[in-house]
Amino acid sequence: MIAGAARGLLQRDTMLSRHSASWIIEFPTWPIEWNQQLAVIAFQDYMSTANPDLGMAYLDRLLDNTKSQYVDSTSTIGVIPTSEPFAADGHIVGWDPTPNASQFRNSDHMTPCNSWAVGGLEKLATIAHAGGNVTAAATMRSRAAALKKAMLATMWDASTGRFCDGICADPEVSGHS
């Protein structure tokens, strides 16, 4: 993706980036957050080409990759649980060996995964709107706004001006950021 972006900047050739994006959408890898970033990559393609075709071709898959369908609606939390059902796929944060392992506190609702979901939903809403699917765009914007509101209510520590590693009140997180 980096080589494709550089080529696009230097030679105005977007085909390498498009091919690379299509490849990693078709053959995803771990961790979860890398798959969540694919919506941002599709958005970058749209911004580079003014053509939403790449994002529209994979819109459903990219939406699934945000993991927003897992928002915990059975409680008042309203954020994405990041342990099940996709913990086996791994997360980019919290897997470092000691001493780095102490720098992030894993929990059942990790902030990075939820943040990527918000960003992905916002980017996909823009692509869907540009592709003429205004209903999907409105739904994605609404989901992004609801998730962002829940994150601010549960993961934002106003006293430090930082997001906690997960839900601030969770004993696993204990306000760590």
What does DSSP assign to residue 96?
P
Ranking 26-35, 70-79, 131-140 by mean pLDDT, the lowest is 70-79
Q: Of the candidates 62, 69, 23, which has an alpha carbon nearest to the alpha carbon of residue 42?
A: 62
User: H/E element holding 157?
Assistant: strand 156-157
CB 107 within 8 A of CB 80: no
Q: What is the pLDDT of residue 61?
A: 96
Q: What is the pLDDT of residue 95?
A: 59
Partnered with residue 156 across adjacent β-strands are 163
Average pLDDT, the chain: 87
Sorting pLDDT into bands at 50, 70 and 90, what band is 142?
A: very high
- Residue with the larger pLDDT of the pair 22 and 103: 22
> What is the spatial distance between Cα 46 and Cα 126, in angstroms, rounded to a whole number?
9
Sorting pLDDT into bands at 50, 70 and 90, what band is 93?
A: confident
Q: Which CATH number fits domain 30-163: 3.40.50.10860, 1.10.10.10, 1.50.10.10, 3.90.1150.10?
A: 1.50.10.10
CB 94 within 8 A of CB 112: no
Residue 89 has pLDDT above 70, yes or no: no
Instruction: Measure Cα distances from 67 to 72, 86, 171 in Å.
Output: 11, 9, 24
Determine the average pLDDT of the residues in 46-64: 96
Q: Indicate the residue type of 134.
A: V
The alpha carbon torsion through 126, 129, 131, 136 (nearest 10 deg) reads 100
Domain positions in the chain are: 30-163
Sorting pLDDT into bands at 50, 70 and 90, what band is 84?
A: low
Two tokens at 31? 């961790």
Alpha helices (H) in the chain, listed in sequence order: 2-11, 15-26, 32-36, 38-49, 53-57, 59-65, 111-130, 134-154
> What is the spatial distance between Cα 145 and Cα 141, in angstroms, rounded to a whole number?
6
